[in-house]
Chains A and B, each alone.
Chain A
Amino acid sequence: MVVKIEARGLGLGYGETRIWKDLNLDITEPGLVGILGPNGVGKSTFMYALNKILEPIEGTVYLDGVDIQTMDYKDIAKLVAYVPQQSNETFAMSVLDTVMMGRYPISGFTTTEEDVRIAIRCLKMMNLTDLAMRNFNELSAGQHQKVMIARGLAQQPQILMLDEPTSNLDIFHQVYVMKLLRDIAKEQGIIVLVICHDLNVASRFADRLILLNKGHIAADGPSEVVITPENIKNVYNMDADVVNSDGRPYVIYHVDESVSMGEKPPSGSKEVD
């Protein structure tokens, strides 16, 4: 049973800065949902609103019809798992212990054998079993990311949110992690939200894409609808052709050699009027 996400009139910001105003969004079908958009447009901020890491300035978020403001952090944690972009552990534990932290909302203080086995299974899914007993701080950035994804999986959530989970991974892992996320979304009937920068990988695997720009939703729908040359030009200020590959849109970028980055107007923005 999928847990529906509904946002109504959502306004988000930090202190004086407003990032979102009157955002309305429904995600009600299971599957892999990609969130795209330029830097600074507020993709992470949107995710923070979905599990109360950031409290909205106005508007409401509903999880399965329940206003999350009325929900306790603990209850939200049983439904929503969050995989951050970076890890900053001060005192690192072993990889397996780190992944087992994902079991905390479910098992509380004690660790059961079941918890250990689930964690190991998630490590296996991410191909990390060789590193299970290594200290988390000894790993590379890419391995950190994979461990964090495994940790999110171990939480067995209804909604899995990942903030740029593949930014440090090689091509193989970029592709196969996204494939894994899509397969999990299908098999377990859950919503997997991924913030992604690579349009092609997102296009290839996502069931739905949400393209954000300058404080509003520029496009929302399956890949064919969202990945178009017009959208790419409007949002990213890039010239591109879109072809078909494996039944999905594939972007071929054109670089304007005559212009330097400093001369191009910035795309997307933090502020909303």
Chain B
Amino acid sequence: MKIGNLLTELRDRASLSKTLVMTDGESDEDFVFREYKVARRSKVLFLAAFALLFLILVGYKITLGEYDIGFFDVYDTLWKHITGSIDPLDPIQRMNDNVVWEQRLPRVLTAILVGVGLAAAGAAMQSMMKNPLADPYTTGISSGALFGATLAMTLGIYIVGGYYGRVLNAFIFALVPAVFIIMLSRWKKPSPAMMILVGIAIMYIFNAFQSYMMLRADPNAASSVYTWSVGSIGMTTWEQIPIIGVISILGFAALFIMTRTLNALNSGDAYAKSLGINVDRVRILCLILISIIAAGIVSFTGIIGFIGLVSPHIARIFVGSDNRILLPASAMLGACMMLICDIVSFLIIGATLQIGIVTAMIGGPIFMLILIAQQKEVW
């Protein structure tokens, strides 16, 4: 297929390893070592390229919005804010500052943190489950969160009251599937199949209750639930950023520490055990980390799909399956995808479309393209 050839050709031309030739007197072993170094370098270069793309997207996104502020004025305002030199007597400066710093920046940061968290969790989930179709919600997290949010918004039942009542509801119920799996693992081995089946079972139960609540709710509340469920990053302010930030960044760091273990899981449980890995314990630990990241993000933003599923696949095309590079690359691409979706949403449709729709509309075709166009049997 033409598209497939183009993709792999681009990738191969960018990665320098195709051009190596053995020099005279060089031993086989030295040549392979050189090939290895070159392949490593090209992966790092790709990572740097993704980082550059990321910076460009952030730089562009922050200048976009319905509130009209010129491109350079945006950066001027940012600089003034950072250096503390916003003129308190100039209302235009103060309002620009509010728009850029209080309104746009949290939105951009949320997009980045959500992208990083979901993509890293997705990559880890796919490795842990040995399943290319896994994403952070595979074990039923999204239905738990939806149930919790519906409980709060239609029946006013909060586990913990207060301003963050709905968020906490969603978070707590999103963790229910993971708790079930952990409890069940005392009797049944926590294999990927077991986890997915438990997730599906709990999903059906939660969905049933949630549907019932929606039927009985008044239309206003029901409408709010639908809106929440689609997934949006428009509601976050600086107050929530630290929490989301901690969840995403710490979650990513924790998963990164586990990457070499995840690599070993890839070859099968028996071989992984022979390498010294307590496979069952590792799976449970991974599940806990992924659940906290996904549940944490979902409870703030609603269900944003495709980022966790597609980012690892795109990253895999460029940097391969070694989780030590795949995880950071996925995270970077996840952030880029979120920014691209937000930018596209603004430029084409206007600022009112929630990002959950856009990630589906963009992520879906990209995923299908990857599947059809893949020449090499990555999976």
User: Do A and B have CB atoms closer than 8 angstroms in the complex?
Assistant: yes
**Which of B131, B270, B322, B376 touches A97 (beta carbons < 8 Å)?**
B322
> Which interface residue of B32, B131, B278, B316 has the most chain A CB atoms within 10 A?
B32
The B20-34 residues at the A interface (CB cut-off 8 A) are 28-29, 31-33
Chain B residues whose CB sits within 8 angstroms of the CB of A133 once the complex forms: 17, 32, 35-36, 39
Q: Quick check: B320 and A94 within 8 Å, CB to CB?
A: yes
CA distance A117 to B34 in the complex (A): 11
Residue of A nearest to B320 (CB): A93
CA distance A102 to B268 in the complex (A): 14
Residue of A nearest to B30 (CB): A120
Query: Chain B binding site: helix, strand, loop or mixed by DSSP?
Result: helix
**Which of A77, A105, A116 touches B36 (beta carbons < 8 Å)?**
A116
Chain B residues whose CB sits within 8 angstroms of the CB of A76 once the complex forms: 276
Q: Quick check: B36 and A124 within 8 Å, CB to CB?
A: no
Chain A residues whose CB sits within 8 angstroms of the CB of B131 once the complex forms: 90
Q: Is B378 an interface residue (CB 8 A)?
A: yes
Q: Is B80 an interface residue (CB 8 A)?
A: no
* A contacts, CB < 8 Å to B: 48, 51-53, 72-78, 80-82, 84, 87-94, 96-98, 101-102, 104-105, 108-109, 116-117, 120-121, 123-124, 129, 132-133, 135, 137-138, 155
CA distance A41 to B182 in the complex (A): 35
Chain B residues whose CB sits within 8 angstroms of the CB of A123 once the complex forms: 32
Chain B residues whose CB sits within 8 angstroms of the CB of A121 once the complex forms: 29
Q: Quick check: B273 and A51 within 8 Å, CB to CB?
A: yes
The B261-282 residues at the A interface (CB cut-off 8 A) are 263-264, 266-268, 270-271, 273-278
A74 with B276, Cβ < 8 A, contacts A53-B270, A123-B32 known: yes
Q: Is B126 an interface residue (CB 8 A)?
A: yes
Q: Is B81 an interface residue (CB 8 A)?
A: no
**Which of B132, B322, B377 touches A137 (beta carbons < 8 Å)?**
B377
Q: Is B257 an interface residue (CB 8 A)?
A: yes
Q: Is B248 an interface residue (CB 8 A)?
A: no
| Nearest 3 A/B pairs, CB to CB | A77-B276, A82-B274, A74-B276
> Which interface residue of B274, B276, B316, B376 has the most chain A CB atoms within 10 A?
B274
Chain A residues whose CB sits within 8 angstroms of the CB of B207 once the complex forms: none
Residue of A nearest to B20 (CB): A133
Chain B residues whose CB sits within 8 angstroms of the CB of A81 once the complex forms: 274
Q: Quick check: B378 and A92 within 8 Å, CB to CB?
A: yes
**Which of B132, B270, B276 touches A105 (beta carbons < 8 Å)?**
B276
> Which interface residue of B31, B39, B132, B322 has the most chain A CB atoms within 10 A?
B322
Interface residues on B, range: 35 or more
Shortest CB distance A104–B (Å): 5
Residue of B nearest to A86 (CB): B268
Q: Quick check: B271 and A84 within 8 Å, CB to CB?
A: yes
Chain A residues whose CB sits within 8 angstroms of the CB of B130 once the complex forms: 90-91
Q: Quick check: B266 and A89 within 8 Å, CB to CB?
A: yes
Residue of A nearest to B32 (CB): A132
CA distance A137 to B316 in the complex (A): 14
Q: Quick check: B28 and A129 within 8 Å, CB to CB?
A: yes
- Contact sample, A vs B, 27 pairs, CB 8 Å cutoff: A53-B273, A53-B274, A72-B276, A73-B278, A82-B270, A84-B268, A88-B268, A89-B266, A89-B267, A90-B130, A90-B379, A91-B266, A93-B266, A96-B32, A97-B320, A98-B267, A101-B267, A104-B263, A104-B264, A104-B275, A109-B260, A124-B29, A129-B31, A132-B35, A135-B378, A137-B378, A137-B379
Chain B residues whose CB sits within 8 angstroms of the CB of A117 once the complex forms: 29, 33
Q: Quick check: A93 and B321 within 8 Å, CB to CB?
A: yes
**Which of B31, B132, B275 touches A77 (beta carbons < 8 Å)?**
B275
CA distance A137 to B266 in the complex (A): 13
**Which of A82, A87, A101, A116 touches B33 (beta carbons < 8 Å)?**
A116
Chain B residues whose CB sits within 8 angstroms of the CB of A74 once the complex forms: 276
Residue of A nearest to B267 (CB): A89
CA distance A148 to B264 in the complex (A): 13
Q: Quick check: B126 and A91 within 8 Å, CB to CB?
A: yes
The B31-47 residues at the A interface (CB cut-off 8 A) are 31-33, 35-36, 39
Shortest CB distance B7–A (Å): 15
Chain A residues whose CB sits within 8 angstroms of the CB of B268 once the complex forms: 84, 87-89
The B223-275 residues at the A interface (CB cut-off 8 A) are 257, 260, 263-264, 266-268, 270-271, 273-275
A135 with B276, Cβ < 8 A, contacts A109-B260, A124-B28 known: no
Q: Is B127 an interface residue (CB 8 A)?
A: yes
Shortest CB distance B195–A (Å): 15
The B100-140 residues at the A interface (CB cut-off 8 A) are 126-127, 130-132
CA distance A81 to B131 in the complex (A): 26
> Which interface residue of A48, A92, A102 has the most chain B CB atoms within 10 A?
A92
Chain B residues whose CB sits within 8 angstroms of the CB of A108 once the complex forms: 260
